Amino acid sequence: MPVPVPRKVIALVGFMGCGKTTVGHMLAERLGWRFMDLDTRIVERTGSSIVDIFRRHGEPGFREIEAEVLDRVLGETAERGFSAVFALGGGTLTRPENLGRLRQFGATLVWLDCPIDDLLKRCAGVTDRPLFRDETSFRRLFEERLPLYSQADYRVDATSEPAQVVERILTLARLTAVEA
Ligand code: S3P
């Protein structure tokens, strides 16, 4: 009988533009794990874009859907027993129960930390982020979110190229080591 390998989940958190999707994808590839982008799963589940969901249901409606999809994806991951890298949304941790579910599931949270000026540059001109309205509100939201991200188990500097950020995460041995 093959010995079952315990599954692991790394959940990337951080503000819009910090690189969760790009880094998450590359990291999953390096580890040979599954990759799960929460926003993509929300779009698949609802058949609507994130912008449309916000337009039709407002932020509270979006958060409901986000929590439900997160729960579903965590459930699937547990059932199938695979290891995965999750890219959460920038606001997923605004609901404390989402953090509770992630912790209950044994996920390790990694915060991709990036200075606000870099994030502003990266997000300038995007049209698919309903909460990026103008510089002032973007900066304010960033400040409000910092205490949420700081609940992560690790903080990684995400200012540099995604490949370097991946290397930094890989040095956090506890994340990827498989216990006997
Ligand atoms: C949001 C961030 C977005 C997306 C939605 C809300 C937020 O994800 O979930 O627009 O509240 O910060 P990204 O962080 O991947 O842009």
Which tens digit of pLDDT belongs to each residue from 141-174?
A: 999 999 999 999 999 999 999 999 999 999 986 6
Q: Is the CB of 20 under 6 A from ligand 1?
A: yes
pLDDT of residue 5: 52
Q: Residue 180: which pLDDT band, with cuts at 50, 70 and 90?
A: very low
Q: pLDDT-based confidence at 129, cuts 50/70/90? A: confident
What the block records as the tokens of 126 is 């995007």
Q: How far is the CA of 105 from the centre of ligand 1 (A)?
A: 22
Q: Which residues contact 131 (CB under 8 A, 6 or more apart)?
A: 16, 54, 59, 90, 91, 141
Q: Is the CB of 90 under 6 A from ligand 1?
A: yes
Instruction: Tell whether the model's pLDDT for residue 66 goes beyond 50.
Output: yes
Alpha-carbon gap, residue 119 to 167, rounded angstroms: 21
Question: Which residue has its alpha carbon closest to ligand 1 atom 11?
Answer: 91
Residue 6 has pLDDT above 80, yes or no: no
C-alpha–C-alpha distance, residues 167 and 180, integer Å: 24
Counting ligand 1 atoms within 8 A of each CB, the residue from 48, 53, 129, 146 with the most, and so the one to mutate, is 129
Whether the per-residue pLDDT at 128 is higher than 50: the answer is yes
- Whole-Å CA distances, 2 to 5, 6, 31, 50, 81: 9, 12, 21, 42, 14
Quick check: CB of 91 below 6 Å from ligand 1? yes
- Percentage, residues of the chain above pLDDT 70: 92
Closest ligand 1 atom to Cα of 14 = 14
Q: From the CB of 50, is ligand 1 less than 6 Å away?
A: yes
Each domain of the chain, given as residue ranges in start order, spans 9-179
Which pLDDT belongs to residue 175? 64
- pLDDT value of residue 127: 78
CATH architecture of 9-179: 3-Layer(aba) Sandwich (3.40)
Taking only the tens place, the pLDDT of each residue in 25-46 is 999 999 999 999 999 999 999 9
For the segment 85-109, what is each residue's pLDDT rounded down to a tens digit?
999 999 999 999 999 999 999 999 9
